[in-house]
Structure formats: C-alpha cells, structure tokens
Copies of this chain bind each other. A is one copy, B any other.
Amino acid sequence: MKITTKVEKFTSPLYLESGRILEPYELIYETYGELNSDKSNVVIVTHALTGSHHAAGTYEGDRKAGWWDGMIGSSKPIDTDKFFVICVNVIGSCFGSTGPLSPKHPSSESYRLKFPVITVTDMVRAQRILYDRLGIHKALAIIGGSMGGMQALCFAIEHPNFASKHIILASTYATSPWAIAFNKVAREAVINDPLFKDGMYDPKEIKNSGLAGLSIGRMCGYISYLSPDTMEKKFARDYVSTDGLYELFGRFEVERYLDYNGLNFVNWFDPLSFLYITKAINIFDARRNFDSLEDSLSEIKSNLTLISFSSDLLFLPCEMKTIHQTMCEIGKSKQSKYIEIESSYGHDAFLVEIDKFSHIVKEALKER
C-alpha cells in the first residue's frame, strides 16, 4: 500500500463559523493507495478527538500502526487496491495542522488561548478547500467515527454535492449534556493544573514532569469510551499484586491501566488542542443554522449508513437512530440505513470491533 504524508499551506483566510479568520493555515494529511485518472475513487476518512491523519500503515521505526489500520489497506474493508483514501488532521489538533501552538502570523509566537474557537463545520470547510486544491471535487464516500462521524454528517448536510455516501459510526447529531459533562471534568482538570499556566505552559516541561490535569482528563475520557462490561472482562476486581489492599494508595488493575494511559497521553497530545477540540465537540449541533433536525437533514442528497454500538455510553444508539428516523420522516428512508451492532466495548467499539461492522462498510462502499 502506498502511503504519503503531505502538508499544504494556505495563505488565503479560512473564514470560521465564529466570524473570526485563520490566516495563514496548514493542513497535514495522509493518503493511501492511488488516485485513479478520473479521480473517481476517493474515500475520505475523518478522525476523532485524539486521532490524527495517520489512519493506517506503520511509520518506519514505529511500533504502532495508524488508528484504523484494520479498516484501511490492501484487501481490507476500505480497500486501497480500489480506493484512494485521504485522512486529514483537523485544524485545532496537534499533529501538524494549524492549532493553538502554531505561530500567530506574523509573529513567531504561538496562538495559545488566542487561537479562535473552531467548530466541526470549520474542520470540514478547511478540508474541502484542501480537496479543491488537490483537484478533488467529488468523493465516493466519507467515513468516520465519533467526532469523525460528526464531520461526515456535517459534510453530508453542508456540502451535499461533494460525496455520494456518508458512513457515520458511534456519533450523534448534537452532543448531549451527558457527553458535555464528561468533557467538562476533563477540561477542568486541564485548566486547573498549575503547570497549564493559563495556556502559557512550556510544552517540554509538561512532557517531562507530566501534566496531571491532562492525565486525569484522559482517564475521564477512558471511562466514557469503555463500558462496565469491558472493564469487567478486562480487569474484574484484580488488584495490583505488589500493592497492599489496605494501603490508601494501593491500586486495582483498572486504576493502574488508567494511570498508565493517562500519564502516557501527555507524551503525545497537547492540552490546548484538547481544550479546543472538546469545545468543538461540545458545540457540535447539526441543527444550528436550521430550524430543526428535519430541516438540516433535508439538505442531504447522499446515502447515509449509520452504525451505532449497543454499549456506547458516550453517544447513545438512540441518538444515531434519531438521525435515521428523521431521515425516514422527511421521506428519505431510501437514503438512510441504520444498524445497531451488539457490542460490549462501549464507544471504543468503532476502533476495536472492526470484525463486527467491516462488512457493512464494505457493502456500503460497493453500492451504487
């Protein structure tokens, strides 16, 4: 599979939903497979909160493959022998696209808290401009889970002529107060960490000494990504064998797991990006600028495939079902397919239970 990573620079302003502008800006993206001569084999994959453009394959010297490696590749469900797959790092993120630590032109200093609030609409708008530059004016499909699903839905509503299929997993049409509450705890933990210094932290310092707030935020995220069932299977009530049961800070294995992943998170994610992207997730509402969900979904010309997971506690299956039911109510039942996958893996199922839904994605990509 041919993988390329590229950065595109844009000097004309990106007009944001907030009324502010981003200028200049850069987008980093990865492609898998080859673009055919009439550019008719493009499949766009959109990433979640902490995801990146590195969706598949393994970089030289790296141990870990891209975040959806099981889905994207030669003879895989999103088959790179057929499709030219693109994944773009969203603006506001910290993997190479313009974000809060990028220099605020013309100065060489980072935006920090002066970075504008970005929305899912903005993420999508920026991508659309990139595709335009690449000469891609049509995509076969746009696929994403979680915040990636929000982007896919946003593409369907706001750019209805661009792609003919939108496959949305473990997502919603508007972030619920329940999900906002999880983000709240995580965001407060980051903001209140003294090393955060109102956003003026030293990136090296927080990597070296850890940013407890970001670790705690990640732990809180983990709860919302998993489910009581997964935790029971994964950890039960196992206790760390070297810890004493009656030590105040003795730990269960589930606590060690959260510690490990929380502490590690600081090494590969940035606290300001975390704040900006969770903000974008919180304020995502496909009904904004429309009178109702009916109204916004009326814009859609493509086919939707909506995949939810029974144990997803972050974006509940009923939220995905509402999209489907609304499509049916406005006479678009032929354009909408809803599947609830039985899974005990919670929200994370869209990343780990590929075997359970890959055939649906494959099928959806095949249909005309």
Task: List the interface of chain A (C-beta within 8 A of B).
Answer: 17-20, 113, 116-117, 119, 174-178, 180-182, 184-185, 188-189, 191-194, 212-213, 215-216, 219-220, 222-223, 226-228, 231-232, 234-237, 245-249, 252-255, 258, 262, 275-276, 279, 282-283, 285, 313, 316
Residue of A20, A116, A191, A237 most packed against chain B (CB within 10 A): A237
* Chain B neighbourhood of A182, CB < 8 A: 223
Which of chain B's residues has its CB closest to A16's CB?
A: B246
> In the bound complex, do residue A254 and residue B177 qualify as a contact, i.e. CB atoms below 8 Å apart?
yes
A236: min CB distance to chain B, Å: 7
On whether the beta carbons of A185 and B223 are closer than 8 Å, the reply is yes
Task: Answer whether A184 and B283 are a contact pair too, CB < 8 Å, given A228-B178, A246-B18, A313-B313.
Answer: no
Beta-carbon contact of A248 and B279 below 8 Å:
yes
In the complex, A212→B213 CA distance in Å?
A: 11
Q: Which residues of chain B have C-beta atoms less than 8 A from A228's C-beta?
A: 176-178, 313, 316
Chain B's nearest CB lies how many Å from the CB of A177?
A: 4
Point out the residues of chain B lying under 8 angstroms from A227, CB to CB: 178
Given contacts A232-B177, A254-B180, A313-B313, contact A192 B212 (CB under 8 A): yes
> Whole-angstrom distance between the alpha carbons of A185 and B227 in the complex?
15
Contact across chains for A181 and B279 when beta carbons are under 8 A apart? no
Smallest Cβ-Cβ distance to A213: which chain B residue: B192
A258 and B184 contact, Cβ closer than 8 Å, known pairs A231-B178, A248-B276, A276-B248: yes
| Interchain CA distance A20-B191 in the complex, whole Å | 39
| Alpha-carbon distance A304/B188, docked complex (angstroms) | 42
A185 to B262, CA, bound (A): 10
Contact A177 B316 (CB under 8 A): no
Expressed in whole angstroms, the Cα–Cα distance for A283 and B252 within the complex equals: 9
Contact A219-B313, Cβ < 8 Å, known A176-B231, A177-B254, A236-B177: no
In the bound complex, residues from chain B placing their C-beta under 8 Å from that of A220 are 185, 220
Report the bound CA distance from A222 to B17 in whole Å.
32
Bound form: Cα–Cα A116–B212 in Å: 26
- The 8 Å CB contact of A181, one of B192, B231, B275, is B231
In contact, A188 and B216 (Cβ under 8 angstroms): yes
Closest CB-CB distance, A308 to chain B, in whole Å? Answer: 14
A285 & B188 in contact (Cβ 8 Å cutoff):
no
Is B180 a contact partner of A117 (Cβ separation < 8 A)? Answer: no
Residue of B nearest to A258 (CB): B184
Task: Please pick, from B216, B226, B247, B313, the residue contacting A192 in the complex, using a CB distance under 8 A.
Answer: B216
In the complex, A255→B254 CA distance in Å? 27
A176 to B230, CA, bound (A): 11
A306–chain B nearest beta-carbon distance, Å: 18
Q: Do B254 and A181 have beta carbons less than 8 Å apart? A: yes
Q: Is the CB of B219 within 8 A of A184?
A: yes
Q: How far is the CB of A184 from chain B (nearest CB, A)?
A: 5
